[in-house]
Amino acid sequence: MTHVPYLSMVVPCRDEKDGIENLIVRLVPALEASGVDSFEIIFVDDGSRDGTPDVLESVCEADERCRLIRLRRPFGKGDALSAGFDVARGSVIATIDADMQESPEELDRLLGAMEDGSDLVIGWRHNRLDGPGKRISSLLFNGAVRVAGGPPIHDGNCGFKLIRSDLARELPLSGGRYRFMHLVAAHWGYRVAEVQVSHRKRQTGRSHFGPMRAFPAMLDLMAILALLKSQGRPGVPFFRWSVYLALPGMAILTYITVLRISDGTIHHRYPLLALGILLTLAGLQLLLTGVLTEWLGARERGRPSYRIDKNKALERQRQR
């Protein structure tokens, strides 16, 4: 009978070949020294091109507690996390970035907060050592999320997290929506907490997030808010406004039609005719937008957008 671990550590990786050795040297002993009885480490390679998956495969062959998932191309951190969450067997899921700017040795701090009743625990990089650009953008981002109704968290985008597995598998993560785990969790009624953790500068590799990420982040925030406000039915607001616009427009056109049939002329009511046509077309446009939004939302709820490269795993199995 396969032993089910208590904690699953999900580590998304992309082009981190130079830092993998340091990752393993610190991560495995940190988990062994933590307060968890058993664990597994799930590495999710997000389409690396520098040999990272080869190094990770060697690690997984040497330690049966380690597993590797390879995505066919770079889908992004959100999809990499989703892939790891889907196969995680632990009742608690931890995440940490492969650049090891956070310390896995501090996992017990997060575990302590979860034992106090929290469902999602986020690390707070209190003394953050990134450049001023990242610190300012992070300050603005977290402020915007709090204004939007998020919990009073200082560093919601920290990669060092601890999540109950049932919550983790329900969170919208693809694209950039993984940044709003705490906002969604709090909206659903889960308890969110933060714990101060140490931070250090990146030692190897390079960041995959540039200064322009603020713009898509704001779009993702608006999309998340629309999804939450509509109770998971993003097309409903469009349907509602299509009715508000189309019904008056159709009433106006009906009046103009009756007037034309009865009097043979609309008596210079051409501006009213234009208004009726405009409102009706706008309503139809919103109706079609709502249908499209619902269709895309249904796809998002029912199917993951990542694709696992199973052929590589099969090749390895044949070689053994």
pTM of the model: 0.73
Give me the number of domains the chain comprises. Answer: 2
210 with 297, same domain: the answer is no
Which of 229, 250, 269 delimits the end of a domain?
A: 229
The pLDDT tens digits of the residues spanning 14-52 come to 988 888 878 888 899 999 998 888 999 999 999 888 888
Instruction: Show the tokens assigned to 250.
Output: 């159709």
Distance between the two ends of the chain, CA-based, in angstroms? 22
The pLDDT confidence band at residue 299, using thresholds 50, 70 and 90, is low
Note whether 19 and 104 are same-domain residues: yes
Residue 260 lies in a domain: yes
Domain contains 274: yes
Range of the domain at 260: 236-302
The span from the CA of 278 to the CA of 270, in Å, is 12
What integer pLDDT is reported at residue 292 of this predicted model?
A: 73
Residues 71, 313: contact at Cβ < 8 Å?
no
Residue of 302 and 105 predicted with greater confidence: 105
pLDDT for position 69: 94
In this structure, the answer to whether residues 197 and 242 fall within a common structural domain is no
In 96-249, at which residue ranges do the beta strands (DSSP E only) sit?
A: 120-125, 161-164, 192-197
| Each residue's pLDDT tens digit, 246-297 | 999 999 999 999 998 998 888 888 999 999 999 999 999 988 887 776 666 6
Q: How high is the pLDDT of residue 317?
A: 47
Together in a domain, 93 and 189: yes
Q: Has residue 106 been placed in a domain?
A: yes
309 within a domain of the structure (yes/no): no
User: Residue 98 sits in a domain of what CATH number?
Assistant: 3.90.550.10
CB 44 within 8 Å of CB 71: yes
Tell me: do 33 and 125 sit in the same domain. yes
Q: Which residues contact 240 (CB under 8 A, 6 or more apart)?
A: none
By DSSP bridging, strand 161-164 and strand 120-125 are antiparallel
- The model's confidence at residue 202, banded by pLDDT at 50, 70 and 90, is low
Say which residue, 307 or 142, is predicted with more confidence: 142
